Amino acid sequence: MAAPLFEDDSKHAYPRDYLGPGTAILEGFALQYEAFIQNALLEIAGQSPFRHMTTPGGFRMSVAMTNCGALGWVTDRKGYRYDSLDPDTGSPWPAMPALFLKLAQRSASEAGFPEFVPEGCLINRYEPGAKLSLHQDKDELDFTAPIVSVSFGLPAMFLFGGDQRSDKTVRIPVVHGDVLVWGGPARMRYHGVMPLKNGVHPLFGGHRYNLTFRKAR
């Protein structure tokens, strides 16, 4: 019998604020959107394909990325920033689908942030072995708005730390349809994703897709 992907992946129920004030883990909250999300991702990637961006230090990121919305997050030798144009195509990023916006706002409201209006959605595509090192979302000008993170496809182990990189992290298994929200006193906490394990999801194949909604300005 194969070992489970996570020690506790058969049951994980978290109360609101499990990760502290300003946080919420909304299990399965996005499941009703899965078919629409799958089709929307194909359309978005058709206009602005996934790519492995490079950090200012020259490191090629293991996670493939694209964006939709008025502003997209990019990184290259020039630095981390938001841009209204896709640097690979020279065209504006694909418009954010109305249902993306609805999902983001419903999730934020459920977590206690009813006024959330994201300007962009960074879409990360993980393949087995891909990871995201501990970091803060600090390229935005407005830190009063929360971060809304939606997971589809293969399960992953999300790391959530404190305000300092050296602070202890909590491991949270996130599965298809889960939504994490953090803002207010938790807005600048470090977070990351452990290397993705092999697997096949019935809708999203051998990948995990993460939609991260942000207000940049």
pLDDT tens figures, 93-115: 999 999 999 999 999 999 999 99
What pLDDT is stored for residue 13 in this prediction?
Answer: 59
Q: Other CB atoms closer than 10 Å to residue 216's CB: what's the count?
A: 19
Q: Phi/psi at 147 (nearest 5 deg)?
A: -105, 135
Domain residues of the chain, as ranges? 23-214
- Tell which CATH classification among 3.90.700.10, 3.40.50.10860, 2.60.120.590, 2.30.290.10 matches the domain 23-214: 2.60.120.590
- Provide the 8-state DSSP code for 185: G
Q: Considering the entire predicted model, what is its pTM?
A: 0.93
- What is the per-residue pLDDT across 32-78, written as a single tens digit (0 to 9) for each? 999 999 999 999 999 999 999 999 999 999 999 999 999 999 999 99
